[in-house]
Amino acid sequence: MDSKEFKQFRSRLQKTQKQMARLLGTSTKAIHSYEQRWRSIPPHVERQVLFLVSRLNHNGKKQQKCWTMLKCPKKKKEQCPAWEFKLGQLCWFINGTICEGEPQSNWQEKMEMCRSCEVFNSHLC
């Protein structure tokens, strides 16, 4: 997540920098630093922001599960933590999913894959 996207998400959440800091459990100075590109946005902050925005988009409507959207075969589903925990609408939030055949080794690698995925984009955009 870059500073521009962070600002856009903060705007969508309708939060001031101070409110965003409180929501994320950090300082207002940290929020300012993310937005000014003085500090990179840590994975745990990015993850929480994406989760909050995904809940905004939910608006009570039923979200399609990833395994349905991606037509995952039964064998693949049974190996995936998103299936195990019945969180197909939050597959991007869970480490260890096997969307492209193998679990990703870290959050950045996972997000790189997820950002081009129709499931992620349908739940966050």
Residue carrying the six token digits 């959440």: 13
Q: Which fold has domain 3-58?
A: 434 Repressor (Amino-terminal Domain) (1.10.260)
Instruction: Identify the pLDDT of residue 100.
Output: 80
Report the C-alpha dihedral over residues 46, 52, 55, 57, rounded to 10 degrees. -70
Q: Are 113 and 100 in contact (CB under 8 A)?
A: yes
Give the residue extent of every domain in the chain: 3-58, 66-124
Q: How many helices (H) and strands (E) would you count in the chain?
A: 9, 0
Q: Where are the beta strands (DSSP E) in the chain?
A: none
Tokens at 17, concatenated:
């920098």
CB count, 10 Å around CB of 101? 6
Question: Rounded to an integer, what distance in angstroms lies between the CA atom of residue 66 and that of residue 88?
Answer: 5
Please count the CA atoms within 13 angstroms of the CA of 121 that sit on its side-chain side: 8
pLDDT in the model for residue 12? 93
User: Do the beta carbons of residue 88 and residue 72 sit within 8 Å?
Assistant: no
Tell me, what's the pLDDT at 95?
Answer: 87
Per-10-residue mean pLDDT, the chain, length 125? 95 96 96 96 94 76 83 90 90 86 85 88 77
Residues 38 and 33: their CA atoms lie apart, in Å, by 5
The Cα 70–Cα 89 span in angstroms is 12
